[in-house]
Amino acid sequence: MMSNKPAALPPDAIKSIVLICLADSLVGLSYGSLAISEGFPLWVPLSLSLLVLAGASEFMFIGIVAGGGSPLTAAAAGLLVNLRHFPFGIAVKDLAGRKRLSWLGCHIMNDESVVVGISQENLVQRRAAYWACGLGIAFCWPVSVLAGAWLGRFIPDTQAMGLDAVFPAILIALIFPALLKRRVAIPASVGAAVSLITVPFLPAGMPVLCAMAGMLAWRGDK
């Protein structure tokens, strides 16, 4: 007979959650300082960090708008990036809670909380890891964005310091192992090529949307 008592998270899971929150905090510092240096008022990155809670979409939004693109285009690009949350939601439907609690459970759903959650051995540990990681990021991310925005006021040129490259570098490091697989490398390469080709002809932000065409370059194993 299975016990209903909460199962303690293994030390490896706790260590992973702490390191993830620390890494996200460092990225949040970069995001906050970059947003301020690009001329955004504090409420913009802070509101995005609280309401969107998705670093890739937030970086993309301020990058597109700062480059001259419209906020609508930036929002559309962010929504496309966040389409991955649909399969995420299916994967964590038993972890995100029920009824009113599920609203918060869905809000804290991100790459890290999903991966840490579903990697645990049993349902109780999966739920605990998912919520611990999700809530940890939900706290650390806006706090670090606020701290980064404050620091950004004293940094004359964040691009000279390379802060604008921190998040893209982290994303590349995360996806690099996947690029070793043909079914990932081919669509990614085609999407990158389409994006680069359309840069001279389209407004800022649109080439990112056009890169989605790379998904048509792979039709599965034959």
Give residue 42's pLDDT. 92
Neighbours of 178 (CB within 10 A): 11
Q: Is 136 helix (H, G, I), strand (E, B) or coil?
A: helix
> What is the pLDDT, as a whole number, of residue 76?
85
- Identify the segments of the chain with pLDDT beneath 70: 1-7, 155-178, 203-205, 208, 217-222
Distance CA 163, CA 145 (A): 13
The 3-state DSSP class for residue 8 equals coil
Q: What is the pLDDT of residue 163?
A: 57
What is the distance between the terminal CA atoms of the chain, rounded to a whole angstrom?
A: 46
pTM of the model: 0.71
Residues 165-183 pLDDT 10s = 665 666 566 566 667 777 7
Task: State the Cα–Cα distance between residues 58 and 175, nearest whole angstrom.
Answer: 18
Smallest CA-to-CA distance from 35 within 113, 150, 117 is with: 150
Query: pLDDT tens digit string along 27-68?
Result: 888 889 888 888 899 999 999 999 998 888 888 888 888 888
pLDDT at 173 (0 to 100)? 66
pLDDT of residue 2: 41
State CA 182 to chain mean position distance. Answer: 24
